[in-house]
Amino acid sequence: MKITVSIEETVVQDFVIEAESLGEAMEIAEKKYKAGEIVLEPGEPQFRQMSATDGKHYTDWTEF
């Protein structure tokens, strides 16, 4: 039987953004991220979870 296991992980990295407000910094960071100017380096995941399916049945996401 073939089962598909999906793994999701969250990696955290800090970036310094010059801006007039927190909201503006978030907008600038999002634009830079989407443009490929901000790229997270591989690092230690801060959060991991997985789920599995056989096409008919699905497990809940489980942290591991």
For the chain, report the end-to-end CA distance as a whole number of angstroms: 24
| pLDDT for residue 51 | 98
Query: 15: helix, coil or strand?
Result: coil
DSSP-derived secondary structure letter, 43: -
Give, for all 64 residues of the chain, the pLDDT tens digit. Answer: 999 999 999 999 999 999 999 999 999 999 999 999 999 998 889 999 999 999 999 999 999 9
| pLDDT for residue 43 | 86
Residues 6+ apart with CB under 8 A from 25: 17, 19
- Please give, one letter per residue, the 3-state secondary structure of 7-29: EEEECCCCCCCCCCCHHHHHHHH
| pLDDT for residue 17 | 98
Q: Are 40 and 13 in contact (CB under 8 A)?
A: yes
